[in-house]
Structure 1
Amino acid sequence: MINRKATAIWKGTGKEGSGTISTQSTVLENTQYSFNTRFAEGKGTNPEELIAAAHAGCFAMKLSFELNAAGFTADELNATATVSLDPNKGQVTKSAIDLKATIPGISEGQFKEIAEKAKKECPISQLLNAELSLTTELIA
């Protein structure tokens, strides 16, 4: 079992308050977040942005493993995840991954099949109770 930790500290009300997020690795250390960084445009992060980063990173790494198992090595995998929060429902409803990849020797069909498998099997995809989508572009 591998355990990773992050700590959130919040002070004040939901709208006027603010908080910090720190990770075990210290990559994030007292990183600010607030109502504005979540629902408007403010300086700092927010939970949905962090989930998007986790989903993009997890997917790219899982895809790399799946490609290797199929005999391919990517020159580059560029995965961008967009996480959608419906403020009316108070729920994350979707994570959409946009993938651009340069993979020598792979066919379009093999690429799409392996990418779909990685989307389904990446641990963060399995964690999310939301619609998952994937668009792909194989760059020659």
Structure 2
Amino acid sequence: MSIDPLVGLGTVGIGFGTVGIIALQCLASLAVFGYFRRVKSTPGFATVVAPLVAFAGLGFALYLAVEKFELLSGATNAFVNALPTLLLVTFAAGACYAAWLRTKRRAHYLRITELMTTTPQS
């Protein structure tokens, strides 16, 4: 008795999405900490401790989700269980591209960052 391929794909997709969301939340907690350090906010629980505790907890959850991906996805295939490494590869490729833009095409990089930091006028 085998599993329906679409059911298997669905569980793997949900597992992969879960790992991605945990990774994004982990990075967001670092971004919150970095933001409050950059604006020189008064150190406190909400600006230092909470983001770092969140980063540690989410980092551990991410480790567990990647380490036990076969339990999360329900798949026993080695290729499928290697899918979380795609998140790392994609993140590294994006970081390298951003570094290249910042050094080689500075005007384009500044335009992108300007678009990301300005609020639309309504």
Q: For the superposition of Structure 1 and Structure 2, which TM-score range results when normalised by the shorter chain? A: 0.3 to 0.5
Structure number having the greater strand percentage: 1
The higher-RCO structure (CA 8 Å, 6+ apart) is 2
Q: TM-score by structure 2 length? A: 0.35
Larger Rg: 2
TM-score, structure 1 as length reference: 0.31
Which is richer in helix? Answer: 2
